[in-house]
Amino acid sequence: MTALRIDRISKDFGRPQTLAALHEINLAVDAGEMVVLLGPSGSGKTTLLRCVAGLTEPTGGSIQIGDRTVVDCERGIRIPTHKRGLGMVFQNFALWPHMTVRANVAYPLAGRAEIRDKRVDEMLELVHCSHLGDRLPSTLSGGQQQRIALVRALASAPALLLFDEPLSNLDALLRIELRAQLRQIHRVTGFTGLYVTHDQVEALSLGSRVAVMNHGQIEQIGPPEQIYNAPATDFVAEFMGMGNRLIVTGDGALSDGSGRRIMGLPARHGATGSGQKAIRFRPESLALEANGASAASQSHLVIPDLDVVDRAFIGEYVEYSLQSASSSLKARMGRGAQLIDVGGRVNGLVPHLEAASFDYAPRQSN
């Protein structure tokens, strides 16, 4: 069953431009799913979330929550936020400072007092905060505040829970802890969620599916493994950590004019045209070997003549900075690997399965 259907939602801001614009976005979220909107700032992910919440008015398209249309620009339908039956966790928690924790959690609940009290107890129990009920939000730590904000959103068992970068105001350790707690609560209660973040680790670990957004559009949507292993576009690949990029012509020559070629170009992944291609891979996928040591390989692509310009010991790994005529590459080698001196010249090896290639069009002024 579809819990949320977003149909050709657009948002045009006149002046002043306060949020990123959206261009005809389609997205369907099934009941019980947690869909994460991932993207850099300005990609439109928060705008989309606010359109679902009714805090921002889209300029085109429609949104259905459950089987009810909450906004439809063509038909002039607009259900105000408070009638959409939502829960939402805000980036800065947004607990009302003048209400106790109990009052905050009870706020979205309707019905008789005993029933509400019981539900509040249940909710506080869920996040192990029963002892905090009578405190004011300002006396709580950041992690406690965010747990309360979470159960306030859960309290009325809404059809759809919205998360607006809920963990970004917390420090690193707390973030990991709350992420695990959130996964557990999602497993136990089975809520349907739409989650906005710019943190790829958070997105991968929380999402049933991840939608990567850029310039107001969804570039790719799919299960976390698919997004990570098989990025569909150059942007998604870069955002997912494939920081190394080589530009090659259709026949595999490096497009830096040096005439050198990359051997063993991969056939799979995005590239379809016969023009220039961008080849992307992660620093940890790049292995280095002495120059001239190997010829063409069946399972790897080989990048010839890389100059080692720097070597840094990071702890878990050793990071090499490499220069190939026009492009800079990074390689991460495990601690066990033999060290290569700065100033040396090496070949780079990348397993086919860990490289992706995309049609490349030189970017216009951007």
Partner 1 sequence: MTITVAPAERLGSGAGPRLWQGLASVMTWLPLILVLGFAVLWPLFAFELQSFVDGFKSYEDAFGSPGFVRSALVTFALAIADVIFAVILGTALAWCALRTPARWRSFGSMIPLMPLLVPGVAAASGWVFLLSPRAGYINTILRSLFGITDITQAPFNIYSFWGMVFVSGLIFTSFIFMFVHNGLRNTGGEYEEAAAVSGASPLRSFFTITLPQLRPALAYGSGIVFMLALGQFSAPVLLGVPARIDVLTTRMFSMLESYPVAYGEVAAIGMPLLLAGVVVAGIQRWVIGDLRRYVTVGGRAQYSPRKPSRWALTWISLFGFIAVALPLVAILYTSLSPFWTQNMSFGNLTTRNFVTVLSGQNLLSAVRTSLVASATTILIVLPAGYWAALIVTGRIQTSWWILRLLDILLLLPFAIPATLYGFALLFAYAHPPFALYGTYTIIIVAYATIMIPYSTRVLVSALIAFGPEPWEASAICGAGPARTFVRVSLPLMRRSASVAGVMVFILLFQEFAVSLLVRSATTQVVGGVLYDQYVAGSYPAVAVVALLLVAMTAVGVIIITAVGGSEAIKGSGGR
User: Other CB atoms closer than 10 Å to residue 291's CB: what's the count?
Assistant: 14
Q: Provide CB contacts within 8 A for 154, sequence distance 6+.
A: 87, 123, 126, 161, 185, 189, 191
Minimum distance, C-beta of residue 78 to partner 1, in the bound complex (Å): 6
- Integer angstrom CA distances of residue 70 from 50, 109, 193, 334: 13, 21, 17, 53
Within 26-65, the residues that bind partner 1 by CB under 8 A are: 53-55
By CB under 8 A, tell whether 130 contacts partner 1. Answer: no
- Integer angstrom CA distances of residue 119 from 53, 111, 145, 162, 221: 24, 11, 18, 20, 36
Long-range contacts of 116-120 (CB under 8 A, 24+ apart): 119/155, 120/155
**Residues written for the chain:** 366
Residue 82 or residue 112: which is nearer to partner 1 going by CB? 82
Residue 52 or residue 237: which is nearer to partner 1 going by CB? 52
Residue 6 or residue 271: which is nearer to partner 1 going by CB? 6
Within 133-172, the residues that bind partner 1 by CB under 8 A are: 152-153, 156, 162
By CB under 8 A, tell whether 117 contacts partner 1. Answer: no
By CB under 8 A, tell whether 122 contacts partner 1. Answer: no
Q: Left (φ > 0), alpha (ψ -120 to 50) or beta: where does 253 sit?
A: beta
Residue 57 or residue 310: which is nearer to partner 1 going by CB? 57
Contact 31, 219 (CB under 8 A): no
Binding partner 1 (rule: CB under 8 A), the pick from 24, 26, 30, 78 is 78
Minimum distance, C-beta of residue 365 to partner 1, in the bound complex (Å): 24
By CB under 8 A, tell whether 238 contacts partner 1. Answer: no
Minimum distance, C-beta of residue 119 to partner 1, in the bound complex (Å): 13
Within 253-282, the residues that bind partner 1 by CB under 8 A are: none
Residue 54 or residue 231: which is nearer to partner 1 going by CB? 54
Residue 5 or residue 311: which is nearer to partner 1 going by CB? 5
By CB under 8 A, tell whether 115 contacts partner 1. Answer: no
Q: Scanning the structure block, which residue is given the tokens 């920081």?
A: 243
Minimum distance, C-beta of residue 77 to partner 1, in the bound complex (Å): 5
Long-range contacts of 174-181 (CB under 8 A, 24+ apart): 174/142, 174/143, 175/202, 177/143, 178/143, 178/146, 178/147, 179/205, 179/206, 181/127, 181/147
Which range binds partner 1 by CB under 8 A, 20-28, 102-110, 295-303, 307-315? 102-110
Which range binds partner 1 by CB under 8 A, 77-85, 216-224, 278-286, 340-348? 77-85
Residue 14 or residue 336: which is nearer to partner 1 going by CB? 14
Binding partner 1 (rule: CB under 8 A), the pick from 10, 92, 321, 323 is 92
Residue 99 or residue 174: which is nearer to partner 1 going by CB? 99
Binding partner 1 (rule: CB under 8 A), the pick from 24, 26, 30, 98 is 98
Binding partner 1 (rule: CB under 8 A), the pick from 39, 44, 58, 108 is 108
User: 164: closest CA among 203, 199, 194, 204?
Assistant: 194
Give the binding-site size for partner 1 (rule: CB under 8 A).
37
Minimum distance, C-beta of residue 173 to partner 1, in the bound complex (Å): 25
Residue 81 or residue 184: which is nearer to partner 1 going by CB? 81
* Footprint on this chain of partner 1 (rule: CB under 8 A): 14-16, 53-55, 68-69, 72, 75-83, 85-88, 90, 92, 94-99, 107-108, 110, 152-153, 156, 162
